[in-house]
A and B are shown apart, each in its own frame.
Chain A
Amino acid sequence: MQKEEIISTEKKEYTTLNLGPTHPATHGIFQNVLTMDGEIIVNTEQTCGYIHRAFEKIAEHRPFYQITPLTDRLNYCSSPINNMGWHMTVEKLLGVDIPKRVDYMRVIIMELARISDHVVCTSVIGVDTGALTPFCFIFQQREKIYDIFELMCGARLTTNIGRIGGLERDWNDEVYKKIREFLIEFPVAFQEYSNLLERNRIFMDRVTGTGPITAEMALNYGFTGPNLRAAGVDYDVRVTSPYSSYSDFDFNIPVGTTGDTYDRFMVRQGEIWESLKIIKQALENLPQGKHFAEVPEFYLPPKEEVYNNMEALIWHFKIIMGEADVPKGEVYHSVEGGNGELGYYLVSDGGRAPFRLHFRRPCFIYYQAFPEMIKGSVIGDAILTMSSMNVIAGELDG
């Protein structure tokens, strides 16, 4: 008893340690000023905004169709999900009926993007524990997702895929072939990758119990996505407010229990398997039909028609010059992004650009809990916690 008192009244000297803004282990531009008691983190002061690019201000100055490239650069690990989310928001505002085929194609694209997002996160957790092999191994497979995106839209990372009302072009045979190949090859490679980490004693000892968070705390901090599910809350936007025909598919939501790094890792691993399941179902049941909805006011007509058809030319002109009528209104739409609920709050005053567009960026909201999660742990654990939360700078800073 007495000894404890002596320790607590003893004058302590804390060290201040600056982690970031540029640091190999932070995977982006985050600054943390840590107050250290020897090896133990007492507190941290976070600074963000190092790549603040003013998306919301730009969005107020761009017509609707020019906002898609901005959404690419939010969470750039899974750009297509952001693109689709934006298209669906505008479609909700306009009240467009989207053909089933487009929904299914979008689901395939979004789930591929989710895989590529989660693969980056889980392999980087591996890198931070010192396991570089899984990273090198799985990145070869990740390139195949990029190959598919490239065939679909011509870009790898910042895809700008799809248009308001549908997809810009139908998939060619090569795309189907590549997706089918992917569905056969990826699970094999991914299983091998999982074997390297999932039940690896060294890895498990390192990540179990690192940076835990309780379900109550996670909800109060506004956690969504895999990080919330790792804490044991089965909240997934794809299920609670289904969009793009997600209700047609049969899939599970993996949940964790303790919300530690291992759970976050395992939830993402589990989601990759579920994504593969969804892609398989969507591809098998892909309906025939058009790859766009009948919204000539917003969906750009094909180039051949613009050159040869008066009506198409007029629509093209109207869309590009921003003459199409947009209803007034406010709409909130959210999709399940790689990191959680990615929301779009769009206020339209009938002009060609949104009056106000706010992105609910999951990273920005849950990164607040970081000090709470790392208090009392060591620096190595802080790094792991950060990489397992998958904080993406572009999304964080908006």
Chain B
Amino acid sequence: MKNIFFFLLITITSITSFSQEDTLFSKTLTELVVTATRTERKLSNVAVPVQIISRKAIVQSGSVRLNDILSEQTGLYITSGGATTSAGGGVFGNGIQIQGLSPDYTLILLDGEPIIGRQGGVIDLSRLAVGNIKKIEIVKGPSSSLYGSEAMGGVVNIITEQAQLNRLDASFRYGRFNSTDANLSAAIKKQNWGLQLFGNRNSSNGFDLDENAPGKTVDPFSSYTTQARFNFFPSAKTKISVSGRYYNEKQDNYFLTQDIGSGSAIAITGDGKVKDMNLNPVITRQFNNNLRSSLRFYFSRYEYEQTLLKDADKSPYYYDFFQQDFYRAENQTDFNLPARNFLSVGAGIVEERLNTTRYAGKRSNDILYAFLQDEWRASEKLTFIGGLRYDDNSAYQSRVSPKLAAQFKVNDKLRINASYGAGFKAPDFRQLFLNFLNTAAGGYVVYGANEITISELESQKQQGILSEILPRAYDLALLKPEISKGLNAGVHFDVNEKLNFDVNLFRNDIDELIQVDIIAFRINAAPVYSYFNVKEAYTQGAEINSSFRINNKFQLQGGYQFLMTADKADLERIENGEVYTRDLETNEVYKVQKSDYGGLPNRSKHMANAKLFYENTKKGWSASVRAIYKSRWGTYDKDGNGLINREDEFASGSTLININAAKTINAFRVQAGIDNLFNYKDELNLPGQPGIQPYISIHYSFIKNKNNN
């Protein structure tokens, strides 16, 4: 299947301009981007790699949740979620990798404010409905100079609709597994205020990939999203905006577990609940042509609660509660300075609080930060950007994140971008504050780096709690953030008004990755763990995107990403000849070669997509065929050498074909489609992939064009 994509790419590249016929002016030239510089800029003036997904693309693809539409974009790898299988598949929902960096290192913003609530490092993208998304901006490469923690691999900014005119939209979609998605949105626009309302209900009966195994692969769930935004313009120069969102999800659990020893089955029931809410008041004033300032406040809460009971006697089996609060106040002021300099300065304060059954009591951490960025248009052709951000806090080492970018417009058709940026991810609360004695599994202890000192260990040894302190314990220190340094270099080439190319090369060096290590032994020989900055890794590759407008009805898009990743220590072990494996058939032990190394798990070396869109505005027809390919990817170590190398440690590559068609009649739009047309499944490695999914949806749209009083 891989060959199809190369064929398509070659086809795209080999098609030259047929004629000079005048078509609709390419939209990309005027498209605005806010995420790359935190100020509105034309996409063509942005010096860092940016991908934009329009409302139209979301609608044409028939997407329902954020992971649906992101999974069809070049270079974005959606990590699998869904089932609580012990093998390979992630259990923490659908996260996103950018440039090969894990979901932990990707910042997800909703209208510029961070989405919180990571489980196992992952923001589950299926928490986000797409019904009110105006566009999605994806900035690739480290961007902590503007956004601080988590923006190591890149930033996804979801920009929602704001009331532009009076309208009412309603839609309903029905698909396989009794899955439903209902949306209702309304906008009221008056002269000096506007109100946008949105509601979504999403549910599914879940599905079962293995009829023989008890319980379902994915249990039934339902979720509700409500969002409201009120914009008020007291004067022509001032905007006050308040937006709020509430998300509520419930999943019913039922599965069988075994009594160890007798092997008899125990039925477990219960449910998992997720709540997620945020509130975001913003006031912006354009003081004059050269000065603009905004003050933003943000509060967000994420709550997760799982209660499991033994079905027979309703006695408790498992309980987990996790609550995270995030408060932020921030000012950003933009200046137009002489000599074509555009300066943005900002500062803010963050308080995060955590309350969970997993830690000893509540924990909180405060961060103060300031950033500065100057964009200098040295000439019509040459632009430089320099940025710096400082993040200060008490719980881990403070961090300075620089960024440098340059753009050279060779001519109207060709522009060259290069950028260097630093990213970081703050140690998470677990790494800082965990204080955990596992009474069930052998009495081991895990301390967050801030919960233990060497003198504390020494006093524990004197008290007879510890039998031995290991040399590693003397390395205990204030944790440093995990950091990345990224280089991006690319060209954008408009061959003509119909055909364009984007090529970007990237390299990310990731350092100070945090891992647990044993620092001492208790008298019962149980280990005591804490956290250290130890690991290093890299990701590098190339991304190519092309878009070709065949005529005013057909558009062809193609994309490809080549990715290489490695854990640097693993690579060194292989180079030193210290890594061996066991042959699957013969059990013979032999040395692992560098060429056998599969890099970091959960990454495909080759990813490609090809999409054909058709639209006949006059007759109200539209359709699309989209193919998404990813090559084999590493799952987990099976031969015991700690890295991905053997054939059985890879999941096979896959191609998903999604098709749909839609017809618009007056205010109604009916869309029918099939996702995963060829029913691709991999129950072991992709338990969240249910196979073929036909659906039908109807959309009603009422627009009152007149802008009265």
Question: Are A and B physically bound partners?
Answer: no
